[in-house]
Structure 1
């Protein structure tokens, strides 16, 4: 989680610099070119300024949300954020390992799924032995939870993602 906070802080720093230093200089330069009604540079700089403002708002909101997360409150016997889960999917006749992460860290190819994804939401709160039906755009997937390692436990090296 510290990596996410560090990344968000860096993104905020870069965007704030752009908003307070680079964009005002671009706008000033564009204004000097004259007639603002047909000044593409001016309009592009203003649009970029609006985008940067909106993105900064999103990032700061996410920082506030993350500040409220208390890892001590996460369950020790059920799937939650940070859990590594081994599921058996009968249709594919294979075991798959997932780690539930925040959306910023998600990488399905590596088995890192967001807690807000369809699979992540379906697994949250479940225990070993539970069968989970996941509705995805291509249909339904049924999985049985075989192993669970919460954020409070050490994951065996062969399952670490």
Structure 2
């Protein structure tokens, strides 16, 4: 049996750190490379696919707190039409990264995770974590992988099914 090969396209540095921690330190999701690329705002070009070898599965992780899905739908179509891509897995963050972490940890406010002084400081403070420290922090906050990326979006994103179960290790 051949091992699937995955590549994650994530919106920003916070998602990149989380995905790297979940796959490498915690072994909770499938292993693969991680590229920072906002599939909601930026159209995928051939140069974005240059590192992808035939047979890869592309995972798109994106926020759903915006109102326009035009570029996202174009990107999904581009990837689905590509002869080198085996599959495209969409993982909508309902509504955004912070909401997903609040839902999957025993915290009421996102600043509790990083001990940030304000919501504005959260992303900066989160990005200061090493993967090992983030793993420890998530474990202390009773992180539950089953609660992360477990909702289907509403509104403009309702047609995009959340397929996170395909990458979660159980």
TM-score normalized by structure 1? 0.26
Greater C-alpha Rg: 1
**Greater RCO, CA 8 A, separation 6+:** 2
Higher helix proportion: 1
- Name the structure where strand makes up a greater proportion of residues: 1
